[in-house]
Amino acid sequence: MNDAHTFVTGALGCIGAWVTRNLLRKDVPVTVFDLGTDRKRLELILEPDEIARICFIRGDVTDTEAVENALRSCGARRIIHLAALQVPFCRANPPLGASVNVIGTINIFEAAKALGIDHVVYASSAAVYGSGDEYDRDIIENDAPFLPKNLYGVFKLANQGTAQIYHQDYGINSIGLRPYTVYGPGRDQGMTSTPTRAMLAAAAGQPWHISFGGRNGFQFADDVAKTFIQASDLTAWKGAESFNLGGSIAHVSEVVAAIEKAAPEVSGRITFEDAPLALPAGTSDRALADAIGPLPFTPLDEGVAFTIAHFRDALSSGRIDLDAYNA
């Protein structure tokens, strides 16, 4: 038995695939719990022999018993809970969004309680915050007021409250992390996925229109995954806190410039909608670094160059099918 064995929900998604890759590369056993069956993100960033080492359990986080049974049967004592429906899916089906994002998270805490696991790491989101004009600064700190502007943000806020109550009532410690715009190989769905899709288009020499503009927090998927693992490694952590991530705070035009630098052949053909997201320009990770130590950080230019190089490789080796991706 390996004490670090980690139960990762939603690990067929972008961040989960990167968490899985990083854990396996540290020789930590991983159990993937996901309702999906499509392994395309894992296949994009992991080698086949690595995928062969994963224990897959297909299951639904909305099913209380299934979550507890899966956790019990795999024997993992660490939990990184990432399974969720993103903004467009919550908007299209609010009851399902609430079920997966709110009840799903309650089920994770219930399973932890049943099995005596007292440390849970989970994904909240910068979507718990309001629009930029509601704050007195561009880059907001951890204690800025939560003013969500969509149901997804409301559900994530419920997750933070849920974590606090499970700490208060049952002593389960937790760390919630609030990513903003995650980019990198595997980021292909959700409201803020279009910068990464532009990187894929650039790798294929094609034009792309990014669906938003303004200044935003951009976080490289590998850094985000490493931060989740860093939080999960802190098994002596006490309390139920949630934290902002930092990353590169940049205007979308700077992302376009980074893409053009890595793929000069698409210069002038990667455009963006000049409409900012209803969020502050950036979130500060100062409180997180104080709590869990120095954080991984890949500068935007480097993260974009890595992503485009990875996509070029994947396109030429057939690991990614552009038509299926854009379907």
| Residue 160 engages ligand NAD in binding (rule: CB under 6 A) | no
Closest C-alpha among 66, 83, 73 to residue 120: 83
What's the rounded Cα separation, in Å, for the pair 218 and 208? Answer: 18
Q: Which two tokens stand for residue 209?
A: 């229109």
Binding to ligand NAD by CB under 6 A, coded x per residue (else -) over 240-279, reads: ----------------------------------------
| Residue 195 engages ligand NAD in binding (rule: CB under 6 A) | no
| Residue 61 engages ligand NAD in binding (rule: CB under 6 A) | yes
What's the rounded Cα separation, in Å, for the pair 245 and 178? Answer: 6
Q: Are 109 and 166 in contact (CB under 8 A)?
A: yes
Closest C-alpha among 51, 56, 13 to residue 31: 56
User: Which range binds ligand NAD by CB under 6 A, 163-171, 184-192, 264-272, 298-306?
Assistant: 184-192
Considering only 164, 189, 206, 211, the residue that binds ligand NAD (CB under 6 A) is 189
For ligand NAD, the closer of residues 163 and 269 by Cβ is 163
Q: Are 244 and 95 in contact (CB under 8 A)?
A: no
* Neighbour tally for 130: CB within 10 Å: 19
| Residue 182 engages ligand NAD in binding (rule: CB under 6 A) | yes
Considering only 4, 35, 55, 289, the residue that binds ligand NAD (CB under 6 A) is 35
| Phi, psi values for residue 116, rounded to 5° | 70, 30
For ligand NAD, the closer of residues 35 and 295 by Cβ is 35
Binding to ligand NAD by CB under 6 A, coded x per residue (else -) over 199-238, reads: ----------------------------------------
| Residue 62 engages ligand NAD in binding (rule: CB under 6 A) | yes
Strands 30-34 and 139-140 come out as unpaired
User: Which range binds ligand NAD by CB under 6 A, 57-65, 201-209, 260-268, 281-289?
Assistant: 57-65
Closest C-alpha among 198, 238, 201 to residue 218: 198
| Residue 13 engages ligand NAD in binding (rule: CB under 6 A) | yes
Which residues in 106-125 contact ligand NAD (CB under 6 A)? 123, 125
| Phi, psi values for residue 140, rounded to 5° | -90, 150
Considering only 6, 7, 15, 162, the residue that binds ligand NAD (CB under 6 A) is 15
* DSSP of 265-296: GGTT-EEE-S-B-SS-SEE--HHHHHHH-S--
Question: Interface with ligand NAD by CB under 6 A: which residues?
Answer: 9-10, 12-16, 34-36, 60-62, 82-86, 100, 104, 123, 125, 179, 181-182, 187, 189-190, 192
